[in-house]
Structure formats: structure tokens, C-alpha cells
């Protein structure tokens, strides 16, 4: 993590020292939350719509913070605190992260896209860890606050950093790229998430390709070549001189594509043309995860990882939770927990995965609302329901107000009683427990706001 003197921090954030604090004091680590303050920490009071972190600055110092940023328009400036006065605390945090990043020798990979960012980040980091000292975004700290905090966690010895970059509007990834200055970037895909804020998939593509904004000369962009919108808007976007471009995807028009895919109970084997007879294995299910792995392979080969270490890194990846997490209930029922998030694209991928899985007596799918889809949200839910078939699935259970449209569309393709919509999660869990048996498999998928992991936990507790 960052370790600098008070004077160095003050210079990095373009701040001042109104209280005459000893400038040789050592500051180590950064936090915006008093619950994580350690001795020597720099406290950053963030201002939100309903809160102001300045109210907790004195408490942060009491808990051991060596200094606190203070925004100039928050008067009076407390004379009894070790204050670094700045124009804007959030902007200062971002300046600090950029300045620290530029003092390090670290090589940075940025990962963005509508779906698959976190899984791809995990895959890239796992491969790189076979060869380098690596740091990656923890959890989902991928925004204008979380990513700067991640950069400030880097040690001086970190050789590679894999940073997830998320957004809700245009120019947010632009900012993140300018802060991080990535040497390589991955755009996993362009989906429908954030239509509510951006209005069209074309605008989403433009927002994701902002990742090129801060990239170094001669950097590498790896993108999903099966998405025509990326190539459509790519020429109009700001990009570094000498940009290298590499495409991955499911089809042969890409530079990297799978030549064979086979799933077993716990994961997926695949081959690619460029490495001949070499076989890869990922401990996760589904073709969409193979496509994520291709993006990781492309970047890691560019970073100098050997074929043998690519194989090793993929095989030993540690995944962030609730992304096709395979669990066993005490009864023997198999539960696939994919409750972290959902969009039309990722939901279609999950449905296709359940269709392809073999070795189970019956297949049950639980779908919650897909959020932030704008004025087409009912249309997207009905489309998903229309994809479901009684020839491939045995039960469809839906939860959430938007998923009524999904259930109504699905009912036309199933016998009565096989498709049900629920008002509460407890009713949903009880119905699954009533119909499911040990040889069955249940896939649970929904947007983060639906908290369908509560359904998963209920199944694991009640399926005796």
C-alpha cells in the first residue's frame, strides 16, 4: 500500500497544510471508512447525497489516522486535526491514486464490459500469478472511488495489476483509464445493462471503449470480435498511437476462438487452434466462461506468460463468489449460484449452460428481475421467457415484479404448474424444496438488487 510522508501526500493531491502539521509524519494506507482505519492511515471524507464523511474525520484521527483530507468549502476547517486542505476530496483521492500509480513500475491491465468483467479479471490474475507478483480488484471495487482505492493498495513490488473498470454513464471509464494508465485492456462484450442510463447499445459500446483513453502508446486492446458494435464505434474513439488490436470470441473470424469444448461435472475443457494439441481446463461451467478465458489467454501471452503457465493459471483460478458457483445441498440437490448479477446477455448464457449440462434427472431454473434496462425492460423479460422450453427444462420459477412478464411468456411453452411466479422468496424456496429431488439441478440467476443468494441459502438449509 502507499507509504509516503505528509509532505509528499500533500504535493500529490495539490493540497495545503493550514494547521502546520509536521510534514515528516509518515502516512500509510488510505481509507474512506472509519471502520477500516489503521494507525497511520490517510482518511478521505467522501461527500454523498445523504452523508458527508467530514463528520467522521475527528473519529478517524482518534482511531489512528495520521492525516485527513478536508474539502475547502467545508467550513470551518478544524484547527485541531492533521488536515490536508484540497479543493475536492474525491478529486484529490483520484489525483493521489494516479500520482502513486505513475511512481510505480507496475504494468496494468484494465477489464471492462457489460458481463463477465469479474470472472475475466479473476482468470487474468490467476494466470499472471504463475509468473509475476499480482494485485487485482477486490470484489467489485471498480468505480470512481473503488478503483483509486485499489491502486493505492498496490505495494511497491507489485509487477502486474488487474483492474476491473465499471460504469453507469459516459466518461466514467474515460476517467478510470486516465487514472490507471493501462498497458492492456479487455472489453468482454456489449450487453443491455445500463440502457436505463445510456439509452442504446451503441452508447454502451462507446462507454466501454473509453478504456483506451488513458492507455500508453503501443498498448494492447483485446475485444470480443463477435460483437459488431465494437468495430462499428471503434474508429471514432480516442485511442493511443500504435494501438495493437486482438479479437477473441466463439467464431472463426476472431484471432482466438475455441476449436473444441467439453464440460464435466465441475468444469470445462477446451482447445484453441493457435496452440495445437494443447488442452485447457477451467473449474467453471459454460461456453461463455471459455470465451472469458480466451480474453485472459490473449492478454497474458502478451505479458509474456508461457503456455504451460497459462494452463496452470486457468486450472487453479479462484473465482469471486456467486458466479456459476456449484453447491451441494445436504439432500444431494445440485445448486448453481449465479446470483451476483443479471442482464439479458448473461441470462441467455446461463440458460444455455443449463441446457448443455448432462447427468441430472430434472433441470429447474430460478430467474429474478434484470434491472437497469430502461423502457424496454418488459420486452427483455418477455424475450427471456419465450426462450425457455419444456423440452430442455422441467420447471421455471420467477421472482420479482418484472419477472411476471417472463413467467407469462414461458407459460405458453410448458404444461400447467411447471411455470410459477412468486411474490416472496420464502414461498419460492418452499416450492423448490417441495418439487426438487437429489438427482436434480437448480440454477439461480438474478440482478444484484434482487438478492437471490437468499434463495440459494434457503435451499441449502432446507433441502435435507
Residues sharing a CB contact under 8 Å with residue 29, sequence separation 6 or more, in sequence order: 1, 2, 3, 38, 40, 41, 42, 152, 153
Residue with C-alpha cell 482505519? 37
Rounded to the nearest 5°, which phi and psi values hold at 77?
Answer: -75, 125
Grid cell listed for 179: 487514472
Residue with C-alpha cell 437471490? 452
Give me the pLDDT at residue 135, please.
96
Which of 341, 335, 368 has the alpha carbon at shortest distance from 462?
A: 335
The DSSP code for 47 is B
Residues sharing a CB contact under 8 Å with residue 285, sequence separation 6 or more, in sequence order: 263, 266, 267, 268, 324, 326, 336, 353, 357
C-alpha 30/C-alpha 67 separation (Å) is: 10
For 3-87, CATH gives: 3.40.1390.10
Which of 40, 148, 132 has the alpha carbon at shortest distance from 90?
A: 148
Q: What is the pTM of this model?
A: 0.83
DSSP 372-405: S-GGGHHHHHHHHHHH--TTT-SEEEEESSTHHH
Question: 352 and 287 in contact (C-beta within 8 Å)?
Answer: yes
Which of 239, 422, 203, 449 has the alpha carbon at shortest distance from 340?
A: 449
C-alpha 47/C-alpha 26 separation (Å) is: 26
Residue with C-alpha cell 428481475? 369
Residues sharing a CB contact under 8 Å with residue 366, sequence separation 6 or more, in sequence order: 397, 398, 399, 428, 432, 442, 443, 444, 445, 446, 452, 455
Residue with C-alpha cell 463468489? 321
Tens of pLDDT along the chain (464 residues)?
A: 999 999 999 999 999 999 999 999 999 999 999 999 999 999 999 998 889 999 999 999 999 999 999 999 999 999 999 999 999 999 999 999 999 999 999 999 999 998 888 899 999 999 999 999 999 988 777 899 999 999 999 999 999 999 999 887 888 999 999 999 999 999 999 877 767 677 788 999 999 999 999 998 999 999 999 999 999 999 999 999 999 999 999 999 999 999 999 988 788 999 998 766 789 999 988 899 999 999 999 999 999 999 999 999 999 998 876 677 889 888 899 999 999 889 898 899 899 999 989 889 999 999 999 998 988 899 999 999 999 999 999 999 999 999 999 999 999 999 999 999 999 999 999 999 999 999 999 999 999 899 999 999 999 887 65
Helix, coil or strand: residue 277: coil
The DSSP code for 192 is S
Which fold does the domain 104-315 belong to in CATH? 3.40.1190
Give me the pLDDT at residue 375, please.
86
Grid cell listed for 90: 474525491
Residues sharing a CB contact under 8 Å with residue 330, sequence separation 6 or more, in sequence order: 460, 463, 464
> What H or E segment, with its residue span, contains residue 334?
strand 334-338
Examine domains 104-315 and 325-462 and report if their fold is the same.
Answer: no
Which of 250, 197, 244 has the alpha carbon at shortest distance from 222?
A: 244
Which fold does the domain 325-462 belong to in CATH? 3.90.190
Q: What is the domain partition of the chain in residue ranges? A: 3-87, 104-315, 325-462
Grid cell listed for 404: 411476471
Amino acid at each position: 500500500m502507499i507509504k509516503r510522508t505528509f509532505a509528499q501526500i500533500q504535493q500529490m493531491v495539490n493540497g495545503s497544510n493550514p494547521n502546520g502539521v509536521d510534514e515528516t509524519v509518515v502516512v500509510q494506507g488510505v481509507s474512506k471508512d472509519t471502520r477500516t482505519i489503521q494507525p497511520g492511515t490517510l482518511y478521505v471524507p467522501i461527500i454523498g447525497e445523504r452523508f458527508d464523511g467530514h463528520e467522521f474525520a475527528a473519529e478517524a484521527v482518534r482511531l489512528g489516522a495520521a492525516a485527513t483530507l478536508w474539502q475547502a468549502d467545508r467550513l470551518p476547517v478544524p484547527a485541531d486535526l492533521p488536515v490536508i486542505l484540497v479543493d475536492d476530496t474525491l478529486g484529490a483521492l483520484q489525483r493521489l491514486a494516479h500520482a502513486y500509480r505513475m511512481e510505480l513500475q507496475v504494468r496494468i491491465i484494465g477489464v471492462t464490459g457489460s458481463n463477465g468483467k469479474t470472472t475475466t479479471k479473476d482468470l487474468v490474475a490467476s494466470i499472471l500469478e504463475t509468473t509475476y507478483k499480482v494485485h487485482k480488484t477486490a470484489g467489485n471495487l471498480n468505480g470512481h472511488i473503488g478503483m483509486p482505492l485499489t491502486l493505492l493498495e498496490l505495494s511497491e513490488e507489485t509487477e502486474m495489476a488487474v483492474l476491473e473498470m465499471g460504469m453507469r454513464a459516459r466518461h466514467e471509464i474515460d476517467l478510470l483509464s486516465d487514472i490507471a494508465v493501462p498497458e492492456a485492456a479487455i472489453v468482454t462484450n456489449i450487453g443491455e445493462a445500463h440502457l436505463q442510463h445510456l439509452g442504446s447499445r451503441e452508447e454502451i459500446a462507446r462507454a466501454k471503449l473509453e478504456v483506451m483513453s488513458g492507455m500508453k502508446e503501443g498498448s494492447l486492446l483485446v475485444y470480443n470480435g463477435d460483437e459488431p458494435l465494437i468495430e462499428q464505434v471503434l474508429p471514432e474513439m480516442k485511442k493511443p498511437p500504435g494501438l495493437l488490436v486482438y479479437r477473441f470470441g466463439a467464431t472463426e473470424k476472431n484471432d482466438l476462438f475455441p476449436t473444441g469444448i467439453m464440460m464435466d461435472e465441475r468444469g470445462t475443457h477446451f482447445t484453441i487452434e493457435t496452440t495445437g494439441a494443447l488442452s485447457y481446463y477451467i473449474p467453471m461451467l459454460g461456453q461463455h466462461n471459455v470465451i472469458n478465458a480466451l480474453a485472459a489467454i490473449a492478454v497474458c501471452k502478451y505479458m509474456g506468460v508461457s503456455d504451460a503457465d497459462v494452463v496452470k493459471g486457468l486450472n487453479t483460478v479462484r473465482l469471486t463468489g456467486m458466479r456459476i458457483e456449484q453447491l451441494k445441498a445436504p439432500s444431494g440437490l445440485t445448486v448453481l449460484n449465479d446470483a451476483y448479477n443479471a442482464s439479458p446477455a448473461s441470462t441467455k448464457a446461463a440458460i444455455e449452460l443449463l441446457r448443455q449440462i448432462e447427468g441430472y434427472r430434472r433441470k429447474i431454473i430460478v430467474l429474478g428481475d434484470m434491472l437497469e434496462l430502461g423502457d424496454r425492460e418488459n420486452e427483455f423479460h418477455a424475450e427471456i421467457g419465450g426462450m425457455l422450453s419444456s423440452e430442455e427444462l422441467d420447471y421455471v420459477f420467477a421472482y420479482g415484479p418484472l419477472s411476471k412478464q417472463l413467467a407469462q411468456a414461458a407459460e405458453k411453452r410448458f404444461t400447467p404448474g411447471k411455470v410459477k411466479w412468486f411474490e416472496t422468496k420464502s414461498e419460492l424456496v418452499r416450492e423448490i424444496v417441495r418439487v426438487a429431488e437429489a438427482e436434480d439441478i437448480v440454477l439461480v440467476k438474478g440482478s444484484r438488487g434482487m438478492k437471490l443468494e437468499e434463495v440459494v441459502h434457503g435451499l441449502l438449509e432446507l433441502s435435507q
